[in-house]
């Protein structure tokens, strides 16, 4: 009786490049959300203009959208093999 457990190969759903792209996308998303955080005030009667700076209104949303685009590309990417 032969045991093919040691010789059996299994295919992963994605390749190495897909996982690298997914990691990059997750890092972009995390960085975007970190940049988006903060800017509030402890006292509700005091206005904090840091809420409306370029980092929170432009840079963070661009990084978040890029992170989602990279995640979609990572899922859809197919090796030529």
Query: CA-CA distance, 39 to 60, in Å (whole number)?
Result: 13
How many CA within 13 A on the CB side of residue 54? 0
Percent of the chain at pLDDT > 90 equals: 52
pTM of the model: 0.78
pLDDT band at 12 (very low <50, low <70, confident <90, very high): confident
- pLDDT on residue 7: 63
| Distant-in-sequence, close-in-space partners of 62: CB < 8 Å, separation ≥ 6 | 32
Given a cut of 90, whether residue 45 has pLDDT beyond it is no
Q: Any idea where the domains of the chain sit in the sequence?
A: 16-76
Cα dihedral 53/56/62/64 (nearest 10): 170
Geometric angle at alpha carbon 75, from 71 and 78, rounded to 5°: 130
Query: CA-CA distance, 68 to 49, in Å (whole number)?
Result: 29
């Amino acid at each position: 009786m032969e045991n093919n457990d040691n010789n059996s190969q299994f295919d992963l759903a994605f390749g190495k490049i897909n996982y690298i792209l997914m990691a990059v996308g997750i890092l972009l998303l995390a960085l975007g959300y970190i940049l988006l955080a903060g800017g509030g005030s402890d006292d509700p009667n005091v206005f904090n203009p840091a809420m409306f700076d370029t980092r929170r209104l432009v840079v963070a949303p661009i990084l978040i959208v890029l992170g989602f685009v990279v995640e979609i590309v990572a899922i859809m990417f197919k090796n030529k093999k």
